[in-house]
Amino acid sequence: MCDTFVVLPEFTQDGSIIFGKNSDRDANEPHYVEIIQEREYPSGSNVECTYVSIPQVERTNRVLLSRPVWIWGAEMGVNQWGLVIGNEAIFSKIKANKEPGLIGMDYLRLALERAKNAQEAIKTITSLLETYGQGGNCGFSHPFYYHNSFLIADHKEAWKLETVDRVWAAKRIEQHGSISNCLTIGTNWDLASDNLVSYAVEHKLYNKRNQFNFANVFSDWLYTRFSNARGRKNCTSQQVQALAGKFQVEDAFRILRSHHGDADKFSPGKASLSSDVCMHAGYGPIRVSQTTGSMVTKTLSGNEDIWATATSAPCLSLFKPLRLSQEKIFDYVPDTKFDNCSYWWKHEVFHRRMLRAYQTYFSEFSMARDAIEKDFLLGLKETKQSQDFEGYWVEIMNRSNSFLEEWLEKTKNSEGNSNSRLYQKAWKKNNQDANISL
């Protein structure tokens, strides 16, 4: 499950476009943030995606991606032209194809590598979709099949694109927009596949007696309901709406850290459904996912600020500024088992210790976290003037690592007696599967 939103100039304090996304995946599924250089390819080249190979274009863009380590594609990313995309799993009455093919994350990366703006990205995704379809397992520890929606933004506009099998609809976003794990386009859209209505008729989902409603015709009730997709979508939308004309990057961080109910009383061990924007895994089958990576971008006057946690649980993470100009972000690609050389896995030890005593430490931690992020924001302004981001990135990671080491020490004796036995059992298994010791 995931949540993605975009805020357009009418709603931001400085007239920028701000994008935010949480990627919710399996608890032991590391995210990796990386730079892919622009490249030229000989005629007739192919590109190896997650499961299948397709013809490559002559030249690809430089991109920054946040992706599950075992997947070629990405959950979110931005390219050298300021195009940013996030994707969501959606569930339909049309069964998702289980045959290995292009998956939603592949489409996201292909669009970032090939397009310069939002409308080009829509054209890239939909033309490939109509040619190749979508299919294949997207689950890490268990099979998981779904269709996809996308939130796509550039320097000037934003769109949502929703797909079912090889058909699709797209709608331009006004002021702000959010997507979660549900179809949202109803009776009005700006672009759509030529055979959208006939496809629904062919599959006996629409009889032409009523006005055609894309979401109503195709949505699956069960998965959409139990993922609480509409509740999470409303949560992000309402928070943006409340800040009309005042929205800033810090607000995007806060929204991606949202939990249901009273924040002062929230505990990951007591949550029962997948109802949080900042999602914490628990006992299955409903709470198997957690937020394993988060990204925020800000576009203003042709310049992009990029922020990513490169860790799970944004409420327990630092958003760190990044640049597409960086040669490399991290030296180590996380393994699928615990690896102390990996920043993602090292943070995971702290994260899982905090889950055992969240209320004990969270107030102190969040105050320290916010203070460091404030320093990062101030430092980013100074770095723009000096243009020495590589040197600043070293400072960022030195401070981030020191902060992590401090909290690893503080939480090493944390206890989990306040959490339910089912919750403790679920996390014991997660830790054993990952070879992680707390």
Domain boundaries, the chain: 2-330
Tell me the per-residue pLDDT of 35-93, one tens digit each, with 9 for 90 and over: 999 999 999 999 999 999 999 999 999 999 999 999 999 999 999 999 999 999 999 99
Cβ(77)–Cβ(63) under 8 Å? yes
3-state class of 161 per DSSP?
A: strand
| Rounded Cα gap, residues 204 and 197, in angstroms | 11
Cβ(299)–Cβ(307) under 8 Å? no
pLDDT on residue 417: 57
The answer, yes or no, to whether residue 272 has pLDDT greater than 70, is: no
Task: Provide the pLDDT confidence category of residue 310 given band limits of 50, 70 and 90.
Answer: very high
| Rounded Cα gap, residues 87 and 104, in angstroms | 7
pLDDT on residue 385: 67
Which of 300, 302, 297 has its CA nearest to residue 321?
A: 297
The answer, yes or no, to whether residue 12 has pLDDT greater than 80, is: yes
Tell me the per-residue pLDDT of 216-265, one tens digit each, with 9 for 90 and over: 999 987 777 767 778 888 889 999 999 999 999 999 999 999 987 666 77
Residues of the chain with pLDDT > 90, as a percent, come to 76
* pTM attached to this predicted model: 0.95
| Rounded Cα gap, residues 160 and 154, in angstroms | 12
For residue 243, what are the contacts with CB-CB under 8 A and spacing of at least 6? 11, 251
Q: Which long-range contacts (CB under 8 A, 24 or more apart) does 396-404 make?
A: 396/320, 396/321, 397/320, 397/343, 399/372, 399/375, 400/318, 400/320, 400/343, 400/372, 401/343, 403/318, 403/368, 403/369, 403/372, 404/346, 404/347, 404/350
The answer, yes or no, to whether residue 160 has pLDDT greater than 70, is: yes
Tell me the per-residue pLDDT of 412-425, one tens digit each, with 9 for 90 and over: 987 765 667 888 88
pLDDT on residue 215: 95
Please count the residues of the chain: 438
| The amino acid at 52 | V
Q: Which CATH superfamily hosts domain 2-330?
A: Penicillin V Acylase; Chain A (3.60.60.10)
pLDDT on residue 200: 96
| Rounded Cα gap, residues 425 and 435, in angstroms | 15
Catalytically active residues are: 2
Mean pLDDT score across all residues of the chain: 92
Residue 325 has which token pair?
């100009």
Mean pLDDT (whole number) for 120-134:
97
The answer, yes or no, to whether residue 175 has pLDDT greater than 80, is: yes
